[in-house]
Chain A
Amino acid sequence: MHQEEKQNSEQTEEGLLYTYNRELFYHFDKEKGFSREIDYQVPANQTIIRQSWDAAEQRLDEVRSLIRAGKRSPIAYYMEKTLMEIPILADYMEMGKWRIRRHMKPKGFKKLKPEILEKYASIFGISVDALKNPEL
């Protein structure tokens, strides 16, 4: 996800990060009235989009250090990596949020049955092995 995003974006002199697609914008001018224009997002907006990706990256780093400290299970890592939150993951898993929270701790993760592990793996789009041994 993140790599794909970086491939499609490039840093140019004007500071345009995202040049994947041009969008339609409306403008207003006192003399000319309303007009439509197809263009890339202006640099100011691109900064703001960048900000939310940076925040996601930062959350991922926090989870990495928690896993290394033995406080979180790989499920927490893959949840952040796929930009999910607990309610969304609970929806996909068709489970209560409290169960997801339990699986996010190493102790709860160890007790997981193979079929639940498989379900997690299919939602994250990875193999069960990769789920058990994440490359942080």
Chain B
Amino acid sequence: MEPKKTIINYTHRQAGHCESGTTSNLLNFYGHKLSEPMAFGIGNGLFFSYIPFLQVQFAPMITFRNFPNVVFHRSAKYLGIDATVVKKIKDPKEAMDALDRNLEKGIPTGMQVGVFNLTFFPPEYRMYYNMHNLVCYGKEGNLYHISDTVLEDTQVISYDDLLRVRYAKGAFAPNGKMYWINSVPKELDIRAGVISGIKKTVYEMIKIPFPLVGVRGLRWMARDLKKWPRKHGYDKAAFYLGQIIRMNEDVGTGGAGFRFIYGAFLKEAGELFNHAELLETSEMMGKTSNQWREFSYLGARNCKSRSKPVEDYNMLGDMLLKIASMEESVYKKLDKIKI
């Protein structure tokens, strides 16, 4: 007997960040050309938080992105799209059945997964990291067809492997979380989405009255960075510094990359509404992200060379403080703009 085959005609496109890429691809499937930066900006994927007392992978918790599923959820909310997010499914078999039912109805379904057991993922990234997103768009016998925006091509994964990654354990465990779009209105109100998206991002970056998130968190981290070599010794300081760069550049989903994507979003929005001030902020954001890339480069060089004078850490800390002020000026400007 031929194995049962259901494959949805879904276009896979590579993206800088897993979740905004997934959101953009899903919307594309429903006939709306929303680019990745737009999805990222409207769903406010941009974030910063530094939590020194929480250890993740043996270093302080640093994040440059928002919590998992925020991008999809918020862009659906701000654009008025009818979407379903199932946060938690207790029974793994039920979770897989729900996926099968969706595929039979012809709905490509997004899922949150852990990357450690993800068979097709680049081996160098396979650590315990649970905030990855991918879309399943087809089933062929025992194999599921997957579109993962980190990879160049589409992939297949077996039932057991998919079940294992959907129930990976650890921080931010996916618990079988899945999401899909039910229906999309004919005309998307992009302007309203952009306004809400920018407002929320500005709030999260400069207005939350807590010192460890947003620009204030960035400054806190910069000050801590200067202390690390004296406090923890050179080896540990180098590992912590590496963690900043790992979080900001790789783990497969882009990082300072995030600032680039946000800048691209501001530019696209500026061009769409013909708004000079937005274009100006996009240029400022671009300069900031180039500074981030420079920071990554210098930091990586610092980690590589075994002699690590304290001055280097001071210099990197000062650089971070400068980046923080640059970012702050972007958000302050965005706060005042009327779109």
Footprint of B on A, CB under 8 Å? Answer: 1, 4-5, 8-9, 17-18, 20-28, 30, 33-34, 36, 38, 41-42, 44-45, 47-49, 51-53, 55, 59, 83-85, 87-88, 91-92
Contact = CB atoms under 8 A, between A and B. Distances in A.
Given A8-B122, A52-B239, A55-B58, 12 more contacts: A1-B123, A18-B122, A25-B254, A28-B287, A30-B283, A30-B286, A34-B264, A34-B286, A44-B297, A44-B300, A44-B301, A49-B246
Contact of A28 (B125, B149, B249, B289): B289
A9 B122 CA distance: 10
B245 A48 contact: yes
A41 B150 contact: no
Highest count of chain B CB atoms <10 Å: which of A21, A42, A53, A83: A21
Interface residues of B, number: 50
Contact of A34 (B116, B169, B170, B267): B267
A26 B170 contact: no
B274 to A, nearest CB: 16
B124 A49 contact: yes
The 9 closest A-B pairs by CB, nearest first: A26-B260, A28-B286, A91-B169, A44-B300, A5-B123, A88-B170, A34-B264, A20-B122, A18-B124
B47 to A, nearest CB: 17
B290 interface: yes
Contacts of A92: 169
Contact of B14 (A23, A51, A84): A23
Contact of B239 (A28, A51, A87): A51
A91 B127 contact: no
Contacts of B124: 5, 9, 17-18, 20, 49, 53
A70 to B, nearest CB: 25
Contact of A25 (B16, B287, B290): B16
A77 to B, nearest CB: 17
B15 interface: yes
**Interface class of chain B by DSSP:** helix
Interface of B: 14-16, 57-58, 116, 122-128, 149-152, 169-171, 173, 238-239, 242-243, 245-246, 249-250, 252, 254, 257, 260-261, 263-264, 267, 282-283, 286-287, 289-290, 296-297, 299-301, 303-304
A38 B14 contact: yes
Contacts of B125: 49
B245 A22 contact: no
Contacts of A41: 249-250
A92 B304 CA distance: 35
A83 B242 CA distance: 18
Contacts of A18: 122-124
A87 B252 CA distance: 24
A34 B128 contact: no
B323 to A, nearest CB: 14
Given A1-B126, A18-B124, A51-B238, A27 B300 contact: no
Contacts of B252: 23
A36 B238 CA distance: 30
Given A5-B124, A28-B289, A91-B170, A47 B303 contact: yes
Contacts of A47: 300, 303-304
A47 B286 CA distance: 25
A38 B170 contact: no
A22 B290 CA distance: 21
B250 A49 contact: yes
Contacts of B245: 45, 48
B296 A84 contact: no
A33 B125 CA distance: 30
25 contacts: A1-B126, A9-B124, A21-B152, A24-B14, A24-B16, A24-B149, A26-B260, A28-B263, A28-B287, A36-B16, A42-B297, A45-B300, A47-B300, A48-B245, A48-B299, A49-B124, A49-B125, A49-B250, A52-B239, A53-B124, A55-B239, A83-B127, A85-B57, A85-B170, A91-B169
A23 to B, nearest CB: 6
Contact of B242 (A1, A17, A52): A52
A21 B299 CA distance: 24
